Amino acid sequence: MFAAIKEQHKGVDVCINNAGLSHSEPLLSGKTSSWKNMIDVNVLALSICACEAYQSMKERNVDDGHIINMNSLCGHQVFSLADAHFYSATKYAVTALTEGLRQELRAENTHIRATCISPGVVKTEFMSRLYHDSPEKAKVFNNFSLLLQPMTAIDVASAVTYVLSAPPHVQVCALLSFSCSFI
């Protein structure tokens, strides 16, 4: 992927790591293969993309780039939902990885910034995919989400725009965002 970006666009100045998935696999009864899949996508792929983006910026002397890791409120609080406990563990890893990345970028004396954006419930197909094999659980979640007015993709895009528009001397380390009806 990064070779194609280099060929077509010379490289990466901004990387938004937005891939993520969850499986309904509690800690006491979950499948190892599903846990591994979540680690591969939510943790390893994000880390590989951040590393590749940094290398692209470094080789072209880009000193004002940005790496944004899309996270989740589940990366800051463990909710009472057994199906999401392992997912939360991967998202806590994203929180730690983003802070580690920010510290390493600073140690390299670069002005490349790293930010973790952690939205709450967003109206996407995420939950329907999670509960594709359990219509009862999907229905419960959908009824719950109607009560709290989930964020939209535009809301999340606005958070990204806010972070990218911060002045060069401002480092937005983390941005937690959720619908006001949630609080």
Distance of CA 93 to the CA centre of its chain: 10
**Alpha carbon distance, N-terminus to C-terminus of the chain:** 40
Whether the CB-CB separation of 73 and 92 falls below 8 Å is answered with no
Distances (CA, A) of 122 to 38, 52, 75, 91, 131: 19, 28, 15, 16, 16
User: Which residue in the list 87, 92, 131, 162 is annotated as catalytic?
Assistant: 87
**Active-site residue, 87 included:** yes
Strand partners, 16: 68
Instruction: For 15-44, give one letter per residue: b (16+ CB within 10 A) or e.
Output: bbbeebebbbbeeeebeeebbeebeeebbe
Amino acid at 83: D
d(C-alpha 61, C-alpha 72), whole Å: 31
Tell me which residues are annotated as active site.
87
